[in-house]
Structure 1
Amino acid sequence: MLQPQSRGPLPFATLFITLLFVAIASAASLVNITVDDTFGNPQENLQITYQPAGAWSPGEDCTSCAAHLDTTQVHNGTWHDTTYLADNPPSSPLTATLTFDGVAIYVYCIVTRASTNPFGNSDMTFYLDDVEVGRFLLPPNGDPTYRYSYPVYANASIPSGQHTFMLVNGRSDGQTALALLDYIVFS
């Protein structure tokens, strides 16, 4: 009769390899970091910068802004509001910029398609490391409904490393454009 052979080291080796695989997979998993338009992300010491100075208003405190939102539907109750005026364009682009270290980025705004008060034309161009990587266009159609946490830009295929993302509202050959920036998520 054959006796079963001992396999002493094999279970330990299998367990070790399995644990090593789990550790590597855990270390490689992505973590989403949210950067609020106003509060940034204090844990990562990140903040969105707005240019030119005074061209972006904290929406929740803005008495001259046409957009009046339900703060309970906005991330942290805050957003930044800017309008590119085609008939009186600014001397420099209306930009929101974030420097981050990651492989993916997702930008969320509040949008409306209202024809008046506010004029809900969206016309945003996106740059990653000074290269144009996308555009978001949403013309007004008369619908005054606000859409919250609306993804205006998503890119999950960025090379790993430090990057600078820039949202530019409006363009010199375009119409008046509204941007209501809520938050940015990166991985």
Structure 2
Amino acid sequence: VNITVDDTFGDPTTGVIPQYLPNDPPGVWHAGNATETDHWRTSHWTAGVLDVFEIRNQTWHDSTPANGPAQVVFSFTGTAVYIYNVVPNMVFETVTTSNMTFAIDDSVVGSFVHTPDQSGVTLYNQLVYSNTTLELTPHTIVISADGDNHSNILFDYLIYT
């Protein structure tokens, strides 16, 4: 059985919502939604820039950390996990480079690097990591966007089995 975990609404079977770290200072993470009208003040990624109809439940979490990583943490029991992000290309006056690492149960298991092209096309529902070889036990996945490289992360949802 596939369980889809939304960035904002979480796991529909357990009620668990992903954690966004650090949560201090405020403003490291931006919780985006379709009703935002405050462009550029809290984030470059607003409903005016993104096609919210391409984003699961019209919600996302984004960060462009400057000092240290921004992380998404989620615990689940399953044999597979798939991570989906919004991956932008060049957008005026904002970072669109993505440099993420993925750790499961405290071991780094993968990475995703996206160097934007000049197309300006934003890619939705992009699989940025998958692992189908997990044992059927509890796991914790940590998605880290590296602040040392001024990386952007727009997390949309994950699926686990």
The count of aligned residue pairs is: 150
> In structure 1, the residue corresponding to 2:88 is in which secondary structure?
strand
Deviations 1:24-61 (A, max 9, x none): xxxxxxx0000000010232222100011131111224
What's 2:30 paired with?
57
Kindly report the root-mean-square deviation, in angstroms, between the aligned alpha carbons of the 2 structures: 1.5
Contact 1:123/1:170 (<8 A) preserved = yes
Deviations 1:73-103 (A, max 9, x none): 1000000010022xxx24xx31100000000
Partners in 1 of 2:53 and 2:89 — Cα distance?
20
Partners in 2 of 1:47 and 1:111 — Cα distance?
22
Report which of the two structures shows the higher radius of gyration computed on alpha carbons. Answer: 1
What's 1:131 paired with?
107
State the Cα distance separating 1:118 from its structure 2 match.
2.8
What's 2:65 paired with?
84
Q: 1:141 to 1:115 in 2, by over 3 A?
A: farther
1:104-123 equivalences under 5 Å are 104-114=80-90, 116-123=92-99
Contact 1:128/1:166 (<8 A) preserved = yes
Output the TM-score relative to the length of structure 1. 0.75
Matched, 1:140 2:116: yes
Gaps of 5+ in 2: none
Contact 2:70/2:147 (<8 A) preserved = no
Deviates further, 118-127 or 59-68: 59-68
1:95-106 equivalences under 5 Å are 95-106=71-82
What's 1:69 paired with?
50
Give 2:139's aligned amino acid: H
Deviates further, 55-64 or 131-140: 55-64
Q: 1:171 to 1:66 in 2, by over 3 A?
A: closer
Out of 117, 135, 138, the residue aligned to residue 159 of structure 1 is 135
Partners in 1 of 2:74 and 2:17 — Cα distance?
7
Deviations 1:8-30 (A, max 9, x none): xxxxxxxxxxxxxxxxxxxxxxx
- Identity, in percent, stands at 33
Deviates further, 135-144 or 149-158: 135-144
Gaps of 5+ in 1: 1-30
Contact 1:119/1:140 (<8 A) preserved = no
Output the TM-score relative to the length of structure 2. 0.87
Give 1:170's aligned amino acid: D
